[in-house]
């Protein structure tokens, strides 16, 4: 029984991960406050979570701040692209509901645009955190990986959707969602991404 609570036991490891995810979520909130830096903050979280998946993380806060400073140049435009994509899809659906006739082509365009942006951005941040490349190539590679590994991508999206529904289930889960939700979701994406990246690296 005592072995469960050892420093290398499952209980200790669970709480260590929980605290790390909590720290990352808190840092992500703080460093995303100017809004314009949300991309760099997100990229910094992925830099740390990729190391966590690989069991190579050191001091979470220190690694995050270091990654944030290094991510500003690429993270800010990537974040602005993400926000612009979300706004464009939102604007499209707003127009669809605002027009009385509810034109079907507008709905189709909104759905297709949403899928394209989602697939282009899903692996973009892990790619930017692991490899040096242009933003254009990062977005293109993310889309290609999403299509090539469509089964895993679909499973990942299902898991993310399940986590979001769970975090929004009641007041208690909402609190957990606020405390650990963002970093926990990014950790999950990192776990899927790293496995795919290693397979691609091995093939090449």
122-136: burial string, b at 16+ Cβ within 10 Å, e else: bbbbbbbbbeeeeee
pLDDT given at position 5: 46
Report residue 180 as tokens.
Answer: 């650990």
Residue ranges in the chain modelled with pLDDT below 70: 1-14, 57
pLDDT given at position 174: 92
Q: What is the pTM of this model?
A: 0.89
- For residues 111 and 133, what is the distance between their CA atoms, to the nearest angstrom? 29
* Structural element, H or E, at residue 169: none
Q: How many other CB atoms are there within 10 angstroms of residue 176's CB atom?
A: 14
Classify 1 as helix, strand or coil: coil
Supply the angle between the helices 60-98 and 135-148 in degrees, to the nearest 10.
80
pLDDT given at position 104: 83
pLDDT given at position 9: 52
- pLDDT tens string 29-60: 999 988 999 999 999 999 999 999 887 767 89
pLDDT given at position 11: 64
Q: What is the domain extent for residue 191?
A: 2-203
What is the number of domains present in the chain?
1
């Amino acid at each position: 029984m005592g072995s469960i609570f050892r420093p290398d036991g499952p209980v200790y490891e669970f709480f260590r991960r929980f605290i790390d995810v909590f720290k990352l979520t808190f840092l992500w909130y703080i460093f995303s406050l100017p809004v314009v830096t949300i991309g760099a903050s997100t990229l910094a979280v992925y830099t740390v979570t990729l190391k966590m998946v690989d069991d190579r993380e050191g001091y979470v806060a220190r690694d995050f701040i270091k990654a944030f400073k290094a991510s500003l140049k690429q993270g800010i435009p990537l974040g602005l692209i993400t926000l612009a994509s979300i706004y464009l899809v939102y604007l499209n659906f707003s127009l669809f509901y605002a027009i009385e006739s509810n034109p079907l082509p507008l709905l189709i365009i909104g759905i297709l645009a949403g899928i394209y942006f989602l697939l282009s951005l899903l692996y973009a941040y892990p790619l930017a955190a692991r490899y040096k490349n242009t933003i254009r190539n990062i977005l293109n590679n993310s889309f290609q990986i999403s299509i090539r590994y469509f089964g895993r991508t679909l499973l990942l999206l299902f898991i993310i959707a399940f986590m979001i529904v769970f975090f929004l289930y009641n007041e208690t889960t909402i609190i957990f969602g606020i405390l650990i939700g963002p970093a926990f979701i990014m950790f999950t994406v990192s776990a899927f991404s790293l496995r795919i990246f290693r397979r691609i690296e091995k093939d090449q």
